[in-house]
A = this chain, B = another copy of it.
């Protein structure tokens, strides 16, 4: 039997093929997906490989498997607590997103941040401070920290142009997958108030995030300040 050498794994190809049929709408929620044996026959792989493909789709919540019955397209996911870049959030409201880079350069006096990124406490970090604007109104101030060693190629120009999320994905092949956030409230200091064009001492939401790659490696530390008249955080929590 010919083997798939140095290419995309067979189970991923099968997975994508099924996924395309679901996302294109040819298969609707509740519809039966090809069975393991059917997929194995069609793609000329063994049962275990076809199984693996369906197993991954189930893990992602695209299908549900029922023993004795079959594999079925799952109802569309509800995206609560979704991790979105600023650009994506603004896109959802049909607002043009811009960023003004206030600062972009190396620091090394931040041992606590380094620790959160799993780096030695004397590691050099790249610090990026940005004012986030939607339709030219200031929405937030965000400060990002990354390992300077790993992301030395990052330039200010790249940041002005596009989203840091997509930059990491395209230029560094890093897929951000989840974030742990700590949220509290604070008051605007003079500089913050001026930048965000709000009154001094206005209550702000403060968010501190550690963003992890799909391999559970901490990649990015972000602290953000969000005036509460322009942001509402929506969370669904489960018992």
Contact = CB atoms under 8 A, between A and B. Distances in A.
Interface residues of A, number: 37
A187 interface: yes
A-side interface mostly: strand
Given A64-B216, A203-B185, A228-B186, A180 B59 contact: no
Given A48-B48, A59-B59, A64-B216, A183 B235 contact: yes
A239 interface: yes
Interface stretch (A33-41, A75-83, A135-143): A75-83
A191 B203 CA distance: 18
Nearest to A215: B64
A125 B185 CA distance: 30
Given A48-B48, A81-B81, A203-B203, A236 B185 contact: no
A171 interface: no
B228 A184 contact: yes
Interface in A139-186: 175-186
Interface centre among A78, A181, A185, A187 (most CB of B within 10 A): A185
A204 interface: yes
A82 B237 contact: yes
Contacts of A232: 182-184
B81 A236 contact: yes
Given A186-B228, A216-B64, A228-B186, A236 B203 contact: no
A40 to B, nearest CB: 16
Contacts of A183: 183, 205, 232-235
A37 B231 CA distance: 52
A187 B74 CA distance: 37
A239 B203 contact: no
B228 A181 contact: no
A72 to B, nearest CB: 11
Interface in A189-239: 201, 203-205, 216, 228, 231-239
Given A175-B239, A179-B236, A185-B203, 6 more contacts: A82-B239, A176-B239, A178-B237, A178-B238, A183-B235, A186-B203
